[in-house]
Structure 1
Amino acid sequence: MDVFETIVVAVWAMLPAYVPNNFAVLAGGGAPIDGGRTWNGKRLLGDGKTWRGTATGIVAGAILALILNAIHSPVASALGVALPDQFPPAAIIALPAGAMLGDMTASFLKRRTGRERGAAFPGIDQLDFVVMSLLLTLFAAPTWTTKTFTLPVLVVVFVLTPLLHLVTNGIAYALGLKNEPW
């Protein structure tokens, strides 16, 4: 697999995990998942993690995975690359659900370390959703995950994701959808 193909495979396979947080921001609001509960005087997650945003993010990622499955062959032909096998049902749910769970885990860690909502947490902010989506997908669809996420693909994911994260958050900030550009 050449560099171009590795990048295409990495982005293609991660797209269902890349979009949930963006859709959660757009559809957020409503009841917080933690219900306002605290632990040692600090919120568990905070007001930024809502049921509506989480559900919307998971559904958006799953719909995108279904769309990618539908256009798999024509895109592979047009790009001249061997895309990974189509997303199995377990991965269709696990990738976006893992992304949202990773984001919630980062919020929990932020609260435990005294960071306020929206405060920067370098490294965690950029990779929380990737790690959790890969772990959940490995558990839910182990054969597909190990076949798709080879070492070169994982390297691309872990290098490219922080860059994409900064660009997309910068755009959301410029559009007034986020209060901070990270």
Structure 2
Amino acid sequence: MVLYLQIIWLYLPIGLANIFASLSRHIFPNWDYPLDLGKNYRGQRVLGSHKTWRGLIVGILAAFLFFLAQKYFFNHYQSVRDFSLIDYNSVNILTGFLMGFGAIFGDALKSFFKRQKNIPPGQPWFPFDQLDFVVGGALLSWPLVPVSGVVILVAIVLGLLFHLLFKLIGYLCRVDKTMI
């Protein structure tokens, strides 16, 4: 159980990048320039209107700032040092950037394939909607985060489970239109 909590703590910047990219539409509603600049590929939008520069910037910034907070807590609290899977002093601060960028890139890459399969934005595409950000963030940051492949696989499974849990809660609270 402790290992699961350690993995959640380690990869929390990835989850926050995904959450804040989505929430950014409420924070900066007019800053909605599409990442794909409105371009098409094979008759479909490359990414669609839901993938914006706003989400990219806010998502990366959220991950980076939380990673800096993790580094601060690691340096100032022995309990955090004892709990952490990595030595935050030996990990480059670009890791926070890569976690955020990887999360957004994974989501955008999945959106490209959704558009090519004619799946509309917002329509569920299980399990890819649940895995895209975790896989992208974990894999892109892996060269800078000294963890085993098993840790990454557990992070992916945990990401899937948490995503499903939060979608269900959102659906029950009538925030989300779909359960998955």
Give the TM-score taking structure 2 as reference length. 0.84
Q: Which residue of 2 aligns with 1:127?
A: 131
Which SS does the other structure have where 2:120 is aligned?
A: coil
- Which residue of the other structure, out of 104, 111, 114, is the alignment partner of 1:110? 114
Residue 90 of structure 1 deviates from its aligned partner by 2.1
Query: Take 1:59 and 1:79, find their aligned partners in 2: how far apart are those partners?
Result: 24
Residue 151 of structure 1 deviates from its aligned partner by 3.8
Query: Take 1:78 and 1:108, find their aligned partners in 2: how far apart are those partners?
Result: 39
Query: Take 1:44 and 1:78, find their aligned partners in 2: how far apart are those partners?
Result: 42
- Which residue of the other structure, out of 77, 100, 106, is the alignment partner of 2:104? 100
Residue 176 of structure 1 deviates from its aligned partner by 5.7
Asked if 1:60 corresponds to 2:79, the answer is: no
Q: Which residue of 1 aligns with 2:9?
A: 12
Give identity over the alignment, percent.
31
Asked if 1:50 corresponds to 2:49, the answer is: no
Asked if 1:167 corresponds to 2:165, the answer is: yes
- What are the superposed Cα offsets for residues 47-81 of structure 1, whole Å, 9 maximum, x if unpaired? 11011111101101111111111112566627953
Residue 134 of structure 1 deviates from its aligned partner by 2.3
Residue 174 of structure 1 deviates from its aligned partner by 5.1
Residue 44 of structure 1 deviates from its aligned partner by 0.6
Asked if 1:22 corresponds to 2:19, the answer is: yes
Query: Take 1:16 and 1:26, find their aligned partners in 2: how far apart are those partners?
Result: 15
- State the superposition RMSD in angstroms: 2.2
Change (3 A) 1:78 1:67: closer
- What are the superposed Cα offsets for residues 79-119 of structure 1, whole Å, 9 maximum, x if unpaired? 95353211421211100110000000010010011111012
Q: How many residues align?
A: 173
Query: Take 1:89 and 1:177, find their aligned partners in 2: how far apart are those partners?
Result: 34
User: What letter corresponds to residue 124 of structure 2 in structure 1?
Assistant: A
Residue 154 of structure 1 deviates from its aligned partner by 2.4
Give the TM-score taking structure 1 as reference length. 0.83
User: What letter corresponds to residue 8 of structure 1 in structure 2?
Assistant: L
Contact 2:34 2:50 in 1 (8 A): yes
Asked if 1:137 corresponds to 2:141, the answer is: yes
Change (3 A) 1:90 1:25: same
Query: Take 2:80 and 2:72, find their aligned partners in 1: how far apart are those partners?
Result: 14
Unmatched segments (≥5 aa) in structure 1 = none
